[in-house]
Amino acid sequence: MEHVIDIQGLVKWYGSVQALRGVDLKVQRGELLGFLGPNGAGKTTTIRCLLDQIRPQAGNIRVLGLDPQKNPVLVQRQIGYLPGELSLEGTFKVGQLFRYLIRLRGNRTDQAYLKELTRRLELDTSRKIKNLSSGNKQKVGVVQALMHQPTLLILDEPTAGLDPLMQQEVYRLLREAQSRGATVFFSSHILSEVETLADRVAIIRQGVIVEEATPDQLTEMAMRQVQVSFMDPVDLEPLRALPGVHVLAESDGLSARLRVEGEMDALIKSLAGFPVKDLQTASHSLEDIFLKYYEREEEEA
Amino acid sequence: MLVEFKHSLRNYGGQIAGWGFGLALLGVLLVSVYDSFADQMDMYEQLLEAFPQEFMAFFGDLGGMATPEGFVAIEFFSYMPLILGIFAIQAGSGLLARDEEEGRLDLVMAHPVSRTGLFVGRLLAFLCALAGILFIAWLGIVVPMNWSSMSLGWGEMARPFLSLYAEMALFGALGVLLSMLLPSRRLASMAAGLLLVTSFFLPGFATLNENLESVARFSPLEYYQTQEAFAGLNTLLAWWRFMRRDIRVGGEGGWRLGHLIPWSSRTE
């Protein structure tokens, strides 16, 4: 399988603070990979290493088969990038900024596609950037990343500040880019966004990739919460003894809230011996797995 | 590189016009008062005789004002390094660091332009902007000379401007270098500005106190023949540093010197 991004053992220090502690990550061609992690986990640092904006102290990076430190121009020619903290020259009009960025790319931009992007994102190119709302500035960022139809899109929180309608439009644009053969690597805090958009998810925590899987695989791995109530008071010890089952709360043996890791089979079989009045399982989502890693981080802290 | 050069030069447009026409206006005023000044030369010489010796030593050959060359040198070029130095240092220290501190460099550097291309494009734009300012200022002196008794050739008048250009290029390059080494653009401007002010006044004080002579010898403004070389050296060092350093975001950076050591395993 060809890897558009191949990161091995990436280490980055900022003075005495270690931001990346050996990141290993591979992104396949044509994939839409969501990069998740709490604030300060190392998402932006990883992305900035990919673009040769910062230099790691150790590790190897290959982007589109090239070393971005040795061939930055060749790499950047094929990339569309949206920074996490987008800052633009306020005195420019939107159209002027696009013209400048197009010239930086050697005029390799399809004007018809640029017009389509601005139309679909409802962006007025005659307005000055300093007069734009943060959402409209974000649209400028999205358009400039997409307008030259790059092979690889690296987007740091692409829908930050956009209203739900525009978020949906950006999702459509990214899927269209993927259908044209582009690879999309995006970081996000919006778990529903990652869940609906990404083919695969990588979770970074404290500078290390802690999980890589499809959204479906991750939700299967998620812990479930089970709320069970009984017709008569019962002894919960047999449930406590089950592997992967934790009793979170109980009320005089008449009800219990359980956390279940893995398969439900053993619990259901055990509950068959109890006078069960009601049984509810909470629907699990990517948020559960994310929170699991997040809570673990807080516990360790 | 060419795109970045044109873009940066366009951004300098307001400053070229502002500084250039401001200095040109000053030149027009100076040339226009020269005739009346020359008429009152006797009074001026009497005035000079009344000044204390220390004052005369500090300001140099004030008697030279009797000639057109001396008049322009004292009334225009004597303090011009201090005035135009503000532009040179601000532009130099902001060459890359301004966009970097405001978070705009990230986006530019994600485009297919090499670090060298970006650096050279912007540096050339700065040097052209400086040349443009001095050219307009030069016109402000030589054009009104046609209606004045000031008898200086246009080429002759260009020489001190070329010398001033070298001085300003030197301080601009120093601003670039310091912005690559120090944690912020503001600190780089302050440090370069301090050196400029010290370099400007030190030779004057050295004429009053011989103990300062040995220090004054190091003033960059004293080395007319080597200013270009110093500017080139500063530029090379700044480029070398820019090629190796991290692009900061959100005011990252610190006083650690590890990043200055090429063989250090940690940069920033």
Domain ranges of chain B: 2-264
Q: Are B69 and B152 in contact (CB under 8 A)?
A: yes
Distance from CA of A131 to the nearest CA of B (A): 17
Confidence bin at A6 (pLDDT 50/70/90): very high
Rounded CA-CA distance B251/B183 in Å is 8
Which residues have C-beta within 8 Å of that of residue A236, sequence separation ≥ 6? A247, A250, A253, A256
Yes or no, beta carbons of A88 and B107 under 8 Å apart: yes
Strand ranges (DSSP E) for chain A?
Answer: 3-14, 17-28, 32-36, 58-63, 79-82, 152-156, 183-188, 200-205, 208-213, 224-230, 245-251, 255-260, 276-281
Q: Which residue has tokens 């970074």?
A: A204
pLDDT tens digits, residue range B236-253?
999 999 999 998 875 455
The rounded Cα A73 to chain-centroid distance in angstroms is 26
Residue of B nearest to A75 (CA): B112
Give B187→chain A minimum CA distance, Å: 20
B23 closest CA partner among B73, B83, B67: B83
Lowest mean pLDDT among A5-14, A43-52, A245-254: A245-254
Give B-chain residues touching A141 at CB under 8 angstroms. Answer: 107
Phi/psi at A261 (5° precision): -105, 130
SS3 state at A159 = coil
Instruction: Judge: B3–A79 Cβ closer than 8 Å, yes or no.
Output: no
Res A176 pLDDT > 90: yes
- A78-107 residues touching B, CB cutoff 8 A: 79, 81, 83, 85-89, 100-101, 103-106
Which stretches of B143-226 are DSSP H helices?
Answer: 154-181, 185-206, 213-216
Of the candidates A40, A67, A64, A41, which has an alpha carbon nearest to the alpha carbon of residue A55? A67
A229-252 pLDDT per residue, tens:
999 999 999 998 998 888 888 888
Residue A277 has pLDDT above 90, yes or no: yes
ipTM for this model: 0.79
Say whether A100 and B7 touch across the interface (CB within 8 A): yes
Going B49 to B51 to B53 to B58, the CA torsion angle's sign is negative
Higher per-residue confidence, A290 vs A56: A56
Comparing alpha-carbon positions, the chain B residue that sits nearest to A44 is: B249
3-state SS assignment for residue B182: coil
Residue B59 pLDDT = 64
**Residue spans of beta strands (DSSP E) within chain B:** none
Residue A197 has pLDDT above 60, yes or no: yes
Please state the pTM of the whole predicted model.
0.82
CB A132 within 8 A of CB A94: yes
Segment among A274-278, A297-301, B198-202, B208-212 with least mean pLDDT: A297-301
Minimal Cα distance from B98: which residue of A? A89
